[in-house]
Amino acid sequence: MRHLFVHGAWVPSASREAVAVVNPATEEIIDQVPAGSPDDVEAAVAAARAAFPSWSAASPAERGKILGAAAQLLKERAERIATTIATDMGAPYGLALKVQTLMPAGVLAWYADNCEVADTRVGNSLVVRDPVGVVGAITPWNYPLHQVICKVAPALAAGCTVVLKPSEVAPLAAYELADVLAEAGLPPGVFNMVSGYGSVVGEAIAAHPDVDMVSFTGSTRAGRKVAALAAESVKRVALELGGKSANVILPDADLQTAVKVGVANAFINSGQTCSAWTRMLVHWDQYDDAVDLAVQATRKYTVGDPFDEGTRLGPLVSAAQRERVIRYVNRGQEEGARLVIGGVDAPLDRGYFVEPTVFAGVAPGMTIEQEEIFGPVLAIIPFGTEDEAVEIANGTPYGLAGAVWAGDEDHAAQVARRLRTGQVAINGGAFNPAAPFGGYKQSGVGRELGQQGLEEYLEVKSLQF
């Protein structure tokens, strides 16, 4: 069994319990990590607290040099790390390499170059920024390196120290990162990692009085629990939660391109993406054509082994996740939506696979239109007017991402400004990892990535002269 990473060393857990890591494509146990305990969290927080004075006093150039070295090591080890991610969470290898490994390496490199935040003058005041302190980071399994980097990189760049709890479902990429940070020269105690269950390790981190901030990515339900625990000690909280993002295709858009890209976005990472465009909104006059195009596009999404070059959809991460998706597919049919491709039949004899699934005839308010499914399930919803499209797009508890397609880019941007969501792609605009990422409403609090992501980990102080 693996160990925990505390004060720059691999140490055994105070708990004797283990968590099995399962390959979701084969259902075989491939590793074990400790089911950490509150005592483990206590040791990790103490190490982070002790390391904070010296790390926070290090110059931005010193911090950037270490983070830059770590980014380079991630790039050098990208193929190995991608293989690990494809094995323990099921992403197709190409996706695991490009999106799950090289993109977070690029994010880490960006923060290495952007550690410094300038002081500002306001009248007789000098406004300065200090690192917030010890950060507890709690991350999910769907992007097991990227989501870690989104928290750890800006926290370290800001001068904070970190206690990380990676997801127990797919923890192995975080173990690779711990080795990388140590080899890059990060001082002992600046980064610590305690594996285990959210109900034990995650809650102990969120409630710990010596943790100054907790940053959590996961479900809205779990985010509420983290925020409630953190409130007891009035610590700062950043939450990146669920989504039910709308892909609004206006009547003058390039329908074929909008549907093709929309299907790809809905199904990336087997639909296990919080910002996926899982609702496709199309005008009534083009609705039937859009459904046909979506079915044609979906047929190209081959389900299979993550290491098979022809695979476009790997397995879902676990048996529990597969059962969740199946329940939603059944619920969609029960509520009157029309299943036009896919369904609940297992496409392979073993592994937690589901078919890519598309529903037509979806009405606002249906369960599959309102709730996050976290699987390759797309709902196509008709609208009559632009105002109705905006109302439907804004009509869920979430507001994480979305898209608008139109013949005129300025018009698309006008509609995008009306969407109550944290980021909107205009006519297929590419994801930008240097831009802020986060949501409105129940999609979360705060922002990750870019300059705004760095500022989450800084306190503001005014010096009056």
Domain CATH for 456: 3.40.605.10
Please indicate, yes or no, whether residues 108 and 250 belong to a single structural domain of this protein.
no
Please indicate, yes or no, whether residues 48 and 93 belong to a single structural domain of this protein.
yes
Which of 147, 139, 145, 138 lies closest to 96 in space, CA to CA?
145
Q: How many other CB atoms are found less than 10 A from the CB of residue 55?
A: 22
Please indicate, yes or no, whether residues 121 and 254 belong to a single structural domain of this protein.
no
Q: Which residues contact 351 (CB under 8 A, 6 or more apart)?
A: 24, 25, 26, 27, 315
Contact in structure between 136 and 217 (CB atoms under 8 Å): no
For the chain, what is the domain count? 2
Contact in structure between 233 and 263 (CB atoms under 8 Å): no
**E strand map for 14-67:** 18-23, 28-34
Maximum alpha-carbon separation in the chain: 72
Please indicate, yes or no, whether residues 265 and 402 belong to a single structural domain of this protein.
yes
Catalytic residues: 240, 274
The two structure tokens encoding residue 66: 């270490």
Please indicate, yes or no, whether residues 327 and 380 belong to a single structural domain of this protein.
yes
Q: How many other CB atoms are found less than 10 A from the CB of residue 256?
A: 13
pLDDT of residue 108: 98
Q: Provide the 8-state DSSP code for 199.
A: I
> Which residue range is the domain that position 268 belongs to?
246-432
Please indicate, yes or no, whether residues 135 and 227 belong to a single structural domain of this protein.
yes
CATH code where residue 413 lies: 3.40.309.10
> CA 416 to CA 428: how far, in whole Å?
12
pTM here?
0.97
Contact in structure between 278 and 378 (CB atoms under 8 Å): yes
Q: Is residue 176 part of a domain?
A: yes
Q: How many other CB atoms are found less than 10 A from the CB of residue 300?
A: 11
Provide the b/e sequence for 261-277 (b: ≥16 CB within 10 Å). bbbbbbbbbbbbbbbbb
Please indicate, yes or no, whether residues 418 and 448 belong to a single structural domain of this protein.
no
Question: What is the 3 state secondary structure string of 389-429?
Answer: HHHHHCCCCCCCCEEEECCCHHHHHHHHHHCCCCCCEECCC
3-state secondary structure of 113: coil
Edge-first strand listing for the sheet containing 458-464: 120-122, 125-131, 458-464
> CA 335 to CA 361: how far, in whole Å?
10
The two structure tokens encoding residue 48: 């982070």
Q: Is residue 437 part of a domain?
A: no
Which of 326, 242, 330 lies closest to 278 in space, CA to CA?
242
**φ and ψ of 19, to 5 deg:** -115, 125
Q: Is residue 162 part of a domain?
A: yes
pLDDT of residue 116: 94
Please indicate, yes or no, whether residues 225 and 251 belong to a single structural domain of this protein.
no
DSSP 75-112: HHTHHHHHHHHHHHT---HHHHHIIIIIHHHHHHHHHH
Task: Tell me the mean pLDDT per 10 residues along the chain, length 465.
Answer: 97 96 98 98 98 98 98 98 98 98 98 96 98 98 98 98 98 98 98 98 98 97 97 97 98 98 98 98 98 98 97 97 98 98 92 98 98 98 98 98 98 98 98 97 97 98 98
Q: Is residue 311 part of a domain?
A: yes
Please indicate, yes or no, whether residues 59 and 41 belong to a single structural domain of this protein.
yes
Please indicate, yes or no, whether residues 112 and 81 belong to a single structural domain of this protein.
yes
Q: Is residue 404 part of a domain?
A: yes
Please indicate, yes or no, whether residues 65 and 166 belong to a single structural domain of this protein.
yes
Structural element, H or E, at residue 217: strand 213-217
Q: Is residue 451 part of a domain?
A: yes
pLDDT of residue 1: 87
Please indicate, yes or no, whether residues 256 and 236 belong to a single structural domain of this protein.
no
